[in-house]
Structure formats: structure tokens, C-alpha cells
Structure 1
Amino acid sequence: MRKQYSAVAIAMLSTLAATTAQAQDAARIQTKVLGNDNQPVLVQFNAEGKMAYRGVDAGQVLRQQLALTTADQMVQRTVETDQLGFTHQKFAQYYQGIRVEHADYTVHAKSGVIESISGDFEKVSGLSTTPALNESAALSRALAHVGARQYMWQTNEANAAEFAPQGELVIVRDLRQNAETGPLVLAWKFNVYAAQPISRALIYVDARTGQVVLQDNIIKHAAATGTFATAYSGTRTINDGTTTGGYFLREGTTRGLGIETYNCRKGNSYTSATDFIDADNNWTSAEYNNANFDNVAGDAHVGAQATYDYWKNVHGRNSYDNAGAKIKSYVHFDDVPGGTGYENAYWDGVRMTYGDGASRFRPLTALDVCGHEIGHAVCEKTANLTYANESGAMNEGLSDIWGASIEAYAVSNLGFTSGGVKAKSTWLIGEEIDKQQAALRSMSDPKSLGQPAYYKGQYWAPLSSAPSDANDQGGVHTNSGVLNHWYYILAVGKSGTNEGGNTYSVTGVGIDAAAKITFRMESVYMTASSNYAQARTYAIQAATDLYGAGSAQVIAVTNAWYAVGVGASYTGGGTTPPPTSTTYCTIKGSSQSYEWIDLVQLGSINRTSGKDAGYYNGTALSTSVAAGSSQTVYFSAGFTSTAYTEYWKVYIDYNRNGVFTDAGELVVSGSSASAGTLSATFTVPSTARSGSTVMRVLMSDNSATSSCGTFSYGEAEDYTLNITGGAALTGPTTLAGDATPLGNEAASTLQVYPNPATDALHLVLPGNAEATSVVLSDVRGARVNGATLRNGTLDISGLAKGMYTLSVSDGQKVFHQRFVKE
């Protein structure tokens, strides 16, 4: 007989189901960071076991975590896989089918499992999507706001087809009322390109009132080989092409779709620009160092080539859009044809444009200026930071960072020299073109050139509720000094007392690591509306992705932000760095799906815990141990279900030299399959140096795991010991209780061969175990069918070419491995 339920009972069951689902969702969350609007900017998930979200669940995860309504839509824009193996699905927010400007969210997954989501979500409610103002009337308001004498589409017919503005209805924040949190309005969006005076910007016109609520500047501010005697970088080898009469500055497809440089002949028409042509491909100083500064064409050309090479070789990026986009440069530009010199350089969304300068600047084709401007193109294709207030300041700061990094790269790796009137200096921006002072900006000492080195400190320009050219769009060229100085401190290191009265000490990580962290912050995590506080969160996450939690790089990133007044100093989640200047090698377990350290106790150190993502920096927790004393350390493993044999090692750096490999420093070594509390006793040697040192506790499913590096299953934890005295040295001890001796080492990872493979892939599991199930997924994490397993061999003949991830189970653990199908 079918059971009958009352309406009340059904409601109770529904409530119970909803509550259970909410509890499960909450259990999945490891960390959640909220923005000023109380919406999440970063959510990290437990990426292991049955609670993990799969990559194919991206839409469901966004709907749950952002509490989307039926009026909200998240539309996937791109899917990218980075060099760390992360897949990033980027979504654009829409409300009732209308784009919400600057609101984007990204789902970050690895091996088919969602690890985090990040971005900016705007909570829209009750907003009418019917405009009171039509497109034509709104365009008139936009043009009146710009107030140019001539627009690009008015110069000739070809430009009319390319540049005539087309209106789009969007939802955007009206920043006039509040520089950071103005109300959301329905607006017409136009891309307006002015020819006299030069400007290009996205103009947003309120579709109800006709008022301009935001201006987002696009122009951010005002297969042959030859040699070129450039103005700023000496004689350089160039790649160019052949044409009638000799050679011209058009490289073919050696670098993406090409690098091309043109001559505007002191005019403002791109369609009328001509080629520079040299008869013998030896562009000498005698020919080009003339009254017209024609030698700067070589600077623009080699600058674009060096910039392409930097992004390709350092960041694995194919041109500014990562799709090989052609880089076009136009020199001898003047906004007034035949004028007295244009004092600017800019990226307009399509091309580079350089003026010849006048009273303030020399021709603006110096290498760091080129790298800076193309850096705006990179930002446009990644974070697309809105060019106003804090997001605009970071847009400018990132371009300075890339200008400095590209200059340093070209000098160190491409042999660039200083050929102009000033020497190249990594941490000065525009030093070679500035006639009136040392440079435009200083990253090492921003205040020396009128920029802030501290968030909202001296020289900080107030944010504006009406960003405009008159207030530098809310101080974008001034407040960028904070990001510039953070990058300098991160790369080089610095100690001192900041304007907040706080002392700091940062050990630099080098410009290469600093650049990788910064670009991951920009390209993976930042969104159009990111502010300084969010940049800190994202930079720390980027460093964690690249170098591991608690790494020297994470510590440096955090403390560099602290130095410039953004956020607290490094604590490691309640901890501080070791109370010693010694830097230790990093260590981390890759998976805690089945086992982790859940107890470490020695003296006053007594910590119970769950999973710590493979490593826990507990050096803020300390205990004193007298030299010569006998000490007992207690520890235990947590297991998801089955208790596996785990190999335990405890190291103490007795001589405080930064390594754990000296004789007698492995004080515990043994194995156990127990979930109970284990213990081991050791004696502190008489030769131990007095003072603070580090004790490292390691638990791994592989006996060969050492004191440094990344291993498969398990965790490691660091603590501080304060040592004094003298006693006899003793060697490693075995575990007490139910500990067992070390066994024979066995492989602990899935092995596949051949790799790449064409038809068949052979699988070898740890201990030659039998595979009970196989799951195949593509780079997006989506499950793929079409492969069959028989007797340890996977038939992949029916798969399309590409990269795949295998998840193979032996009935208990799941092992992952990648392979390529050819």
C-alpha cells in the first residue's frame, strides 16, 4: 500500500531536503572572500572526495554560490587551460538578457574538479530594461560629452565603416554619485573615436535620463633579417620583409600574424600612412638619424618584437590576445596634421601610435613605453580593468609593470643596450624620453616623482564620483604608484617602516617569479571592477597556485602588500613565518582525499586539525626543548574511510642551516596503518645550536618521500622549537605502539605508456593492482566516452586527437594521469 503524506509532512520533507543540500554546499566551501558589496569575490572549495564539484557542474556552482535568480544569466565566454593544468571557464553576467558591464565570473578547475570560483557579480533587482531614450538621441548626448572637433569616422569613407559608433544597451554602475559603489542603471554604450583632439573611449549614456554616467578610456593616455640603428637601443637585428625598392618594416608570421611599422608623416590618418623602405636592409644612423627622427621607426619595430618575445617566452602567450594578433605601430603621428609635435603614445584597441614629442618629450618610442602600451592591450584581453579610480590605477600600474619587466628582459636576454641620451633603468618608466625630469614614474621610489608609495598615503589622488580627463579619471596615473611599488618590493625586496607606522621586511622573489604571479593575478582572477583589496586576495591566490601554500613567494606577496598599506602581514592562517631568517625548502602533499595529519603534539605544541591542503605552516606555534632532554612527540593520521599504511618522518634542523639532511636531523622514521595516536621518543643532541629552529612533520603513503618537494598522498607541517643546552646525539627512532618497520618501496602513482599514444594505452597501478574503473575527461573536465578497458590496456583508437585525463580506481584510491592521443 502506497504511503500517504499530509501537506505539512511534504513541506517538512522539502525543508529538510533543502537544509541538507545547504549543509552539503557549506561543507564544500573551504574559504569565501566577500567584497565591499557583500558578494563573493573568491570561493575556494574542498576539491577531494565525494563532496567535490566536477568541472561540468560550473553552471550549477555559479547558480548556488551567487544565488542567481531566473532573471540572471551567466554566459560562457571562453575556456582556457594554463600551464599549471588549470582550466578557466569565464562567464559574462546578463540580467534579463542584457549585459551587466564589468561583471564576470571564472570557474577554476583542475583534473576535472572545480577548485575555486572568482570574479565580480552584481546583484540586480527590479531594474527596468526598457529605455526611455532611443539610440540616436543617446549618441547625440555621447558626442556632446566628448566634444571633439572631428571624429575618426568623419575623416574618410574607409574610417566611417570601421569607426562609426553602434549603440548597445547594457547595465552599468553610475559612478557620479559614488566613486566606488554607484547605483546600477540601464545605459547606451558607444565606442567613440575622436580624431581632433585624439581620444577613444566607451561612453555610457543613461537610457532614462540621457546623462553620461561613465567614460572608460580605450586610449589610456594621452621574413628578412636586417639591422637598424635605433634611437634608444643601439643597433639591433630586425625581422622585416621585402618589397619593391628594397625592404620594409613588415615581419611576416615569425611572431604570430606579424609585426608591422608605418609612417604617419606627421599626420593623423592611418589609411594614408606609408612604409619605411630601405634599399639594402642596413638601416644606418647616417640614413635615419635625421631631423625627422626616422630612426625611432626602428625603436617601435624592435620594441614590438621584443614585447612579443617577452610574452611568448616568459608567459607562454602568443601576442597580446594569445591568438597571434598582428602588432601594428604608427610613428610620426600628429593629431593636428603638420603640427608642432604630438606629446603622447597610446594603444587604441587596434594599433600602437607614437608622437614625436615636443617641449616635454623626445619621440615616445622607448622600449618601456612600447611594453607599457601593449600591456594595455594585454589587460584589455584579460582583466579588462575599467579605466577609472582604483581599477584604472591598477590598469596603469600593470602596464608600468610590463614595461619595466620587458625592458629588463630585453637587456638581459636580447642584448639591448642604451643608445639614447639616457641609460635604461628597469625601475624608472619613460626615463629615455623625458626631457624635464628623471622619468615619468619611479617604481622603486614613487614619491620622488609625485606618486603614492602607500595606499591612500602621501600623494594619493582622491577617487572621483565623476571620473574625467580633468581629474585623471580618478587619479589613474597617480594612484598606480601603489601597485608599482608593491611589484618592486616583491621582486627586489625591501625592509623599513611604512607610512602607517608599521615595520616590514620582504625578501624579494626576483622579477621572473614576481611577473608570473602578477600576470596570473591579472589574467586568471582579476575582473573589470577589481580594486586594490581584491588584487591582494588574487595575488596571494596566484602565488599559492604557482608555488604552494605557505611558500616563500606567498609570504613575500602578502608582506609586500602590507608594506604598501593593503591588508595585514603574513600569518599563514593564524601563523607567522619562522622566527629565524633561514628559508626552508617547500613541501606539499598533492592529495588529501584519503589521509591527512590530524594531530601533532610536542610540549606546548598541541594541534588537532582536518585537511590543510597538503601543507600547514605552524611555525607561530612553538615549544622549548632543553638540549640533552628526552622528548616524546605524538601524531596521528585522519582517514576518509580505509586506514592505509602511512610513512611518518620527523625532522629537526638542529644546526639551523636551513636543511634537514644533516646527520641526526631525521629524528623519527617509521610506518603504521593505525588511525590512533602514535608516539616516538628522541633525545636533543648536545651539538644542537641554541635558538629557534624548525621541526618538520611528514606523513606520506610513499616511504621514499623526502623532506622537500611535492609528493602524492599525505601532508606535511612545520613548527618551531626553541633549543638550549647540550646532550648526546641519537639517531632516528621507530614508532611506538602499533608501528611497523618500513617496508619495501612501491610505486605510488599510476603509470601509463606509451605517451603520446595512438591506439592503445597500457595502465600500471601501484602494487600492480587491478583497475576496477576508468573515467576519461577532456581538458574542460567533461567526461568522454569511446574508450574501453581490457586486461590493463585501454583502447583509445576511437578518441579524437588531444589531451585527456585518466581517473583510474583500484576499488579504494583513485589515481590520475594525463596522456596525449595522437
Structure 2
Amino acid sequence: MAWLGVVSGACGDGERAEAVAASSGEKDSRADVQAAMRALKRVRVLATHEDRVPAFIQGDFGQASRAGKALSLQEAHEGVQEVLREVAPVFRLSPEELSLRRISWDDQGHQYLRYGQRLNGREVVGAELLLFLDAEGKAYAVHSSARGGSRALAAAQPSLAEEAAVVAARRATGARRMDARSGGLVYVRGEDGQLVLAYAVRVTGVKDGLPVDDRVYVNAMTGDIALRDARVHTALSRAVYSANNGYQLPGTLKRAEGGAATQDAHVDMNYEQLGKTYQCYQENFGRDSHDGEGAPLKSTVHYSEDGNGYVNAYWNGSQMVYGDGDGEMSTELGKDLDVTVHELTHAVTEADSNLIYSNEPGALNEGWSDIFSAYCESWTRGWATDADVWLIGEDVWTPATPGDALRYMGNPTQDGSSKDYYPERYRGSADYGGVHSNSGIANLAFKLLATGGAHPRGKTSVQVAGIGVQKAGKLFYEANANCMTASSNFAAAKLCTEQKAEQFYPEDKGAVTDAWAAVGVSGVVEPPPEVVVLSNGIPVSGVATAEGTSRVYKLTVPPGQASLSFVTSGGSGDLDLYVKRGAAGDMGSYDCKSEGPSTAEECVIAEPAAGDWYVTVFAYSSFTGVTVTGRYSNFQGGTHVLLNGVSSVAYGGAARTWTCWTLQVPDSVPRVVFSQTGGARTSGDADLYIQYQEQPTTHRYLCKSSNKGNHDACTLPRPVGGLYLACSFSYSAYTNVTMKGTY
């Protein structure tokens, strides 16, 4: 995690670790996830994992029974037990697998409970569940990289000896003065999304002049390297030490908080830069030091491995370390505010999201450190946005080359190695999976969000509307502190910054989306699906498609409609329904969904906005012979209102006429029964028709009963909450009939 990006190392032979969880005999069924989703109220899926288990959900998940900053971790955990019992199954988890690690708050009073996961009694590395509570203690969102394992994984036993794992870890780091020790078995989720059983080995030493402190996770079945996570990050109570051109840390204390200047320029300038960094975080985010709890800011300058000028700086988990440079590549690194903020932001990230320093999470870790280097420089200069703000390390890097910098946030590829477009990101094993080169993607997204503009190399045509450094920094800070998890990737970073924009600056959410889209993080743009246009109330029959594919339909809804419904019925197979206004929806984005175990699905939207509504019919398994119907209605109810379980007044009607009553049915009732009954002096023949949100017709209804005479009944199991119409249609003139609805 070197400041200069000079660390490299091979992670095994490049082959993907074998996934213990993979089992050809295990059927991938979402029935449990669907059932858990149906039990929640007004839930919306914002993102899913590659195994189709939700990753981020929003909705109304209940109320914490206890809230407040005075609560202990145990008390806070007890206060959300009912919430966890509701939401954990969505991620194939149980509350017993989750342990509360930390609680944080934002300046709106929202509370964030960060849980770790244990599976079969072992830690799942990087797996976290973050529960969002508003200022009143209502649970409104969950972001979870944690999710349940498989039966095959539960039964897995290591086939590799622990000693062999230690040897493999030592070989992977290639360090000298090395020490390697195993911490036992854990679970790790690889780049392919599969959990593996692994030995956690800590390796310390030195490589290329930089200290090594890596957690190397060795697949317990194959001996391959499943993950390598560095803990040496290259970067108010201050303490500045001198290593006296050696490598013993922390060295000799030269200047403590409040102490007089020492006349050592590197010591004194670094002392000042530490103070500016502290003030930047404290005044803008109310943060007391890197851990938020007033930890001392410890720093060592004049560091060297071999007595020569050391061209690097790093955060080692407890302090910052700076070399004096060699006068050609760099001057003293501790004199530059960019370098100091960068290193301390590694510490901030470690205390908050704790992004794993490998692959995409590692690139975000590096990117956030550069981003807040620019943020704090802009802040010290009255929120300036000139070119110097977006140059990283320009004050100490290559002093003989004017305008040169270590990294260029406004044009990342200018340094010759950084990436600025997500589809072109580095995907190899060097540099912990490209943590430095791929950081340019996040750097450019932030710069465009702050200043506005387009991709410097024209990789996309997106024009971003700038919102300023101050607001952009607030969103990126909150995303790191109170949304991202240890294993967050670029897609999660996009989602979290969007979520924070929705919370703090709703008017700027579109700019956040555009900033990520400009660097290719919005995903590869697929050609629009073929769309079949529906006519109101006219069914389309004979619909069929193969497993994993979709059919998309569109219904244009005019203004002033009271209800909109999409219904599938008939045929065979299993389909899911996703309805969205303005664009085709899917499992990760919809306004309404229906995910039952058959082809009978229904989505109903009350008071729909005018415009184009799309319904995506997704084949969970192949289906054939299905009918799709979309219908809107401007029926607003009527004067005849039923009360639950109470019969209406007696009424009658002429032949071929309708008399309708309305009943408001609440959510989650097991059934509703409508009955039409003839009294002692009844005459004629009326039939019973039931419809949801609109008046039925003799061809369009949810249920009908057409017995001879005036005694009819309809039962609707598990009804959707809302307004139902119970109507008598006279086959012949009738008298003395009453209507009743009971739920």
C-alpha cells in the first residue's frame, strides 16, 4: 500500500482458487429469498450479488426498541432484534450469525449498525451487514456483503496442512526479514463470488524498502492464494519522531503537541501538515482524529531502510512514516499536505469501511485517500478548484520538473499507469490487484462531480454537472463512513454515494450517477430490449421464453388514473414480474415486483403517474402459454361503502344494471369473503362480481358467482391490500338483496 504505488507482488500462479461452496448437486433456488422479501413492507432492491441474493434494500423494516448514543453495543443490538429477524433472511442469514462491531452516526442523527458475519463459528472475512436507522430509530435500509453459505461449504474440511499454508503465504509475499504465522481457519469470498475455506496467515517483513504486514488467505483445499490484504497503507494530538535515517520505529521524539519548533524543517513542516489534516476532518465532518475518538497523530520522518534517501511514505496501522526522498524523484515527503492527508485517510478508511486492500476494494481505498488530499487542499484555499488541487504530491515530486505530480485526478492516465475508465481497469495480480492504477477511476469520478465536465479522453459522452468540492466531499465521506463495507467494489461505491446524495442533497443525485457513468461504472450499456406495446385491458396470450431470459411490455398510462395493474396467468413454468415507470425494470430496479413460484403474478400501482410503464416478465424457469394483461382505470370509488363484516342496506335493480359497493382491505389479511344474500321477500336473479381498484365487467373480474337466485359468494385468499369493488349485476330484475365483505 505504498504512497508511490511501487509495491508489487504475485498472488499465486494467477489461477482462481477452487470454490468449496460450488456443488453441482445443489439447486440454486431463490424461494427462501423471495419468501423473506414478501414478508417485508414496501421493500425495494437497489442491488444484488452475482448469486442473485440482494445486496442493498430499502423499505420500512420496523422500529428499534432502543436508540441513542448512550447505549452499549449489546443494548443497541438488543434494540434491533426484531428488525434483524425480518431482514436477515433476505440475505440468507440468521441474527445468530451476526455480531455488532461498531455504531456510527451522521449529522442528521441517522444511526448505522455495522455487523460482522460468522459461519459455522468461523469469521467470514470482509462480510458485513450495515443496518440504517433514521433519527427516530426506524430501519429504512440494509447494505450487506454478508450472505449465507451452502450445505457443501458447511461440511468442508481442510485438505491442506496448516504448515503448508504458511509456506504458501511466505512464498506469495516474497519479503525479507520475514515472519509468518497462521491464525487458523476462516472463510473468504473470492473474486468469483464463491466462499472458500482458508487459512489466515499473517506475514511481516520488508520488500523493496517498504515494510510488509499482509494477511494472506490460503485456500485450505488447494493451497492457492484466495486473497491478500495489506495492512501497511501508504499514505488533535501530534507527535513527530525522527528515525535518524534508520528503520526503527517510532524513533526519537522530536516535537510533541504544543512543543516549540525544532529547527528541523522536515519535523516542523510535518507537524504543521498533521494539524491541517486534523482541522480539515474536524471542521468539515466533526471528526476527532483518524479514529473519530481523538487518537494521537503519530509520525516518523527521516526514515530509511539503507541509510539513503527513502522515496516513499506509508501508514502502517498505527502511525505515518516518511522518507526524505532522494532529491531527484522526490524531496521530503512529510512536507506535503497531499501526502499527509493521503496517509491519514488510509487510517480513516481503516476505522470506517475498512476496505480490504486488494482488487476493487483496495483501489477504492487508494482513491479515497487521493480524493481527500484534493478535498483538504481545496478547503485550505477557500474551496479552490484550479488545476493544482487535482495534482497529487506536486509539492515534493520530481522537484526539477515543474508541474509534475505523482497522480493527476483530472486526467489519471497522464502518469503513465493509472486507469480512468472502469471497463479498461487492470485485472492482474500485481500491486495487490491494481490498487494504485485503478484508483484513478474513483479519482476522476470525484473530480468530475466537483467541477463538472466530461471524460478527458472521451471514453464516454456523459456531461457531468459539477456540485462543488465541499458537497462532493460530504457524499464521499458519508459513503465511506456509513454505507460501504470492507468488500465494496466500484458498483457499491456508486450506489453508496447515490444513497448519500438522496439523503443529503437529493437535487444532486443525478450528478452523482452521471459522474460514475462518465468513468464507465454505470455498467456496459446493453441494447434496449424489444418492447411489445400493450393496449389497456387487452390480454397478450401465448407468451413463452427460456430460463434466465425476459420479455418486456409497455403500457402508456394517461393522466388521472386511479389504478394500474399488470397480471400474468395461465401456462406452465415459473416467472417473476418487475414493473417500472420510464424504463424496463429487473430484480435490482423496479417500482413493483411479484416473485411467486408459478406463472400467476400481479403488480398493482395506486394512482400511477402518467407516462410509459414497463413490465419485465423474467423466466425464473422456462415458461410457456402465459397471458400478460396491463390495465389502468380512473375509477375513484363510490358512495356505497362496506364496513368489515357488516351487511349493507337492502337494495335491488332493473335487468342488466350494476350496483357496486366498496371495501377497503388492509395489508396481510389471510382472506376476504364477499357474499350477496337475498332476504325473505327477495325476487329475481343477480350475479356477484369482484374486482380490485376498478368496476368489474362481465369479462373482467377477480371472482364471480352466478348461482340462480340472489345467494352468491366469492373468497379471495391472501388479497393485496387496497380498495375492492363488490358488484351485483342483474341477470333479471331483483329486489331485497344485501352485500357483505368480511376479512
TM exceeding 0.5: yes
Q: CA deviation at 1:184?
A: 2.4
> Which residue pairs with 1:41 in the alignment?
55
Deviation at 1:426, TM superposition (A): 1.0
- Quote the Cα distance in structure 1 between the aligned partners of 2:318 and 2:563: 53
Number of the residue aligned with 1:192 = 203
**Aligned match of 1:96:** 120
Map Cα deviations across residues 493-514 of structure 1 (whole Å, 9 max, x no partner).
11479745x5322221111110
Question: What amino acid sits opposite 1:192 in the alignment?
Answer: V
Distance 1:485 1:558, change over 3 A: same
Equivalent residue for 1:149, pick from 176, 180, 188: 176
In structure 2, distance between residues paired with 1:275 and 1:269: 15
Cα drift, residue 380 of structure 1: 1.1
Structure 2 residue 345 is the aligned partner of structure 1 residue 375: yes
Q: 2:39 aligns with which of 15, 25, 39?
A: 25
The structural deviation recorded for 1:275 is 2.4
Q: Distance in 2 between matches of 1:182 and 1:23?
A: 22
Q: Within 5 Å, give how 1:187-226 maps onto structure 2.
A: 187-195=198-206, 197=209, 198-221=211-234
Residue 62 of structure 1: CA displacement?
Answer: 3.5
Instruction: Give the share of equivalent positions with the same residue, in percent.
Output: 31
Secondary structure of the residue that 1:318 maps to in structure 2? coil
Output the CA distance in 2 between the equivalents of 1:309 and 1:279: 15
Partners of 2:247 and 2:485 in 1: CA distance: 33
Partner Cα distance (2:455, 2:171) in 1: 50
* Cα distance in 1, alignment partners of residues 104 and 149 from structure 2: 28
The alpha carbon displacement at 1:605 in A equals 4.8
Aligned residue number for residue 811 of structure 1: none
Letter in 2 for 1:185: V
Q: Deviations over 1:332-351 (max 9, x none)?
A: 01122x2x211110001111
The residue that corresponds to 1:531 in the other structure is: 489
Match of residue 313, structure 2, among 345, 353, 375: 345
Matches within 5 A, 1:259-270: 259-270=238-249
Name the structure 2 match of 1:427: 390
Q: Show CA shifts across 1:518-572 (max 9, x none).
A: 1111121111221112211111111101123xx1x111111111211221799xx
For residue 381 of structure 2, give the secondary structure of its aligned residue in structure 1.
helix
In the TM superposition, residue 618 of structure 1 has moved relative to its aligned partner by 10
CA contact (8 A) 1:195 1:268 kept: no
1:510 corresponds in structure 2 to 468
Say if 1:440 and 1:19 are closer, same or farther in 2 by CA, change over 3 A.
closer
Distance 1:303 1:19 in 2: 50
Q: Please list the CA deviations of residues 473-501 of structure 1 after superposition, one character each: whole Å capped at 9, or x if unmatched.
A: 2221111111101101111111479745x
Note the 1:641-720 alignment, pairs <5 A: none
Q: Which residue, 433, 440, 453 being the options, matches 1:474? A: 433
Equivalence for 2:691:
none
- Alignment TM-score, normalising by the size of structure 1: 0.54
Q: 1:537 aligns to what SS in structure 2?
A: helix
Q: What is the CA distance between 1:277 and its match in structure 2?
A: 9.1
Q: Deviations over 1:62-96 (max 9, x none)?
A: 322112269x7111112223211211111111111
Any conservation in 2 of the 1:203–1:214 contact (CA below 8 Å)? yes
Gaps of 5+ in 1: 1-17, 154-163, 175-179, 223-254, 289-293, 417-422, 571-602, 611-616, 621-636, 640-674, 678-822
1:558, 1:569 within 8 Å by CA — same for their partners in 2? no
Closer, same or farther: CA 279–427 of 1 in aligned 2, 3 Å: closer
SS in 1 for 2:333: coil
- The alpha-carbon distance between structure 1 residues 39 and 299, as it changes in their structure 2 partners (threshold 3 A), is farther
1:448 corresponds to which letter in structure 2?
Q
SS in 2 for 1:28: strand
Tell me if structure 2 keeps the 8 A contact 1:390–1:531. Answer: yes
Alignment of 1:323-342 (within 5 A): 323-336=293-306, 338=307, 340-342=308-310
Q: Which moved more, 1:82-91 or 1:265-274?
A: 265-274
Find the aligned partners of 1:503 and 1:83 in 2 and give their Cα distance: 36
* Secondary structure class of the residue paired with 1:426: helix
CA contact (8 A) 2:63 2:137 kept: no
Q: d(CA) in 2 for partners of 1:547 and 1:383?
A: 22
Structure 1 residues 217 and 55, CA gap change in structure 2 (3 angstroms): same
The one-letter amino acid paired with 2:305 is: D
- Contact kept, 8 Å, 1:264 with 1:331, in 2: the verdict is yes
Inter-partner Cα distance in structure 2 for 1:76 and 1:333:
39
SS at match of 2:295: coil
- Within 2, Cα distance between the matches of 1:199 and 1:120? 27
Counterparts of 1:84 and 1:278 in 2: how far apart (Å)? 32
User: In structure 2, what is the equivalent of residue 321 of structure 1?
Assistant: 291
Residue 201 of structure 1 aligns to a residue whose secondary structure is strand
Name the CA distance, whole Å, in 2 between partners of 1:272 and 1:479: 34
Distance in structure 2 (CA, Å) of the matches to 1:619 and 1:209: 49
Shift of the 302–619 alpha-carbon distance from structure 1 to 2, 3 Å rule, reads farther
- CA distance in 2: counterparts of 1:278 and 1:99, whole angstroms: 39
Q: C-alpha distance in 1, partners of 2:457/2:111?
A: 39
1:210 shift after superposition = 4.0
1:449 to 406, 415, 418: 415
Kindly indicate whether the alpha-carbon contact (under 8 Å) linking 1:403 and 1:429 is maintained by their aligned counterparts in 2.
yes
The equivalent residue for 2:103 is 79
State the one-letter code of the partner of 1:124.
Answer: G
CA-CA distance at 1:117 after TM superposition = 0.3
Contact 2:40 2:61 in 1 (8 A): no
Contact kept? 2:63, 2:83, Cα under 8 Å:
no
**Residue 169 (structure 1) aligned to one of 185, 188, 191:** 185
Compared CA separation, residues 511 and 607, structure 1 to 2 (3 A):
farther
Contact map agreement 2:239 2:256 (CA 8 A) in 1: no
Q: Name the CA distance, whole Å, in 2 between partners of 1:279 and 1:545.
A: 40
The residue number in structure 2 matching 1:275 is 254
Cα deviation 1:632-689 (Å, max 9, x = unaligned): xxxxx989xxxxxxxxxxxxxxxxxxxxxxxxxxxxxxxxxxx889xxxxxxxxxxxx
Amino acid at match of 2:109: G
Q: In 2, Cα distance between the equivalents of 1:19 and 1:295?
A: 61
8 Å Cα contact 2:203/2:216 also seen in 1: yes
Q: Distance in 2 between matches of 1:268 and 1:19?
A: 53
Once residues 510 and 454 of structure 2 are traced to their aligned partners in structure 1, the CA distance between those partners, rounded to angstroms, is 14
1:356 has 2:319 as partner:
no
- DSSP-derived class of the 1:91 partner: strand
CA distance in 2, matches of 1:134, 1:315: 48
**CA RMSD across the alignment:** 3.8
CA distance in 2, matches of 1:149, 1:20: 52
Query: Is the CA contact (8 Å cut-off) linking 2:213 and 2:230 kept in structure 1?
Result: yes
Q: Give 1:35 deviation, angstroms.
A: 2.5
* Distance in 2 of aligned mates of 1:193 and 1:362: 28
Deviations 1:709-752 (A, max 9, x none): xxxxxxxxxxxxxxxxxxxxxxxxxxxxxxxxxxxxxxxxxxxx
**After superposition, where does 1:596-615 map in structure 2 within 5 Å?**
605-606=559-560
- Residue from 507, 522, 525 that aligns with 2:480: 522
Q: Which residue of 2 aligns with 1:397?
A: 367
Q: How far has the Cα of 1:193 moved from its partner?
A: 2.6
1:494 aligned partner: 453
Return the offset for 1:282. Answer: 4.8
Task: Kindly indicate whether the alpha-carbon contact (under 8 Å) linking 1:40 and 1:120 is maintained by their aligned counterparts in 2.
Answer: no
State the distance in 2 between where 1:439 and 1:568 align. 30
Q: 1:264, 1:274 within 8 Å by CA — same for their partners in 2?
A: no
Q: 1:564 aligns with which of 519, 524, 535?
A: 519
Q: Give the number of equivalent residue pairs.
A: 489
- Partners of 1:19 and 1:504 lie apart in 2 by 36
How far does the alpha carbon of each residue in 1:376-408 deviate from its partner, in whole angstroms, 9 at most, with x for none? 111111111122222211111111001111122
Equivalent position of 1:591 in the other structure = none
Instruction: Note the residue ranges of structure 2 that are not aligned, 5 or more in a row.
Output: 1-31, 65-77, 526-556, 565-579, 584-604, 608-635, 639-743
What secondary structure sits across from 2:388 in the alignment?
A: coil
SS of 2:331's equivalent? coil
The residue number in structure 2 matching 1:795 is none
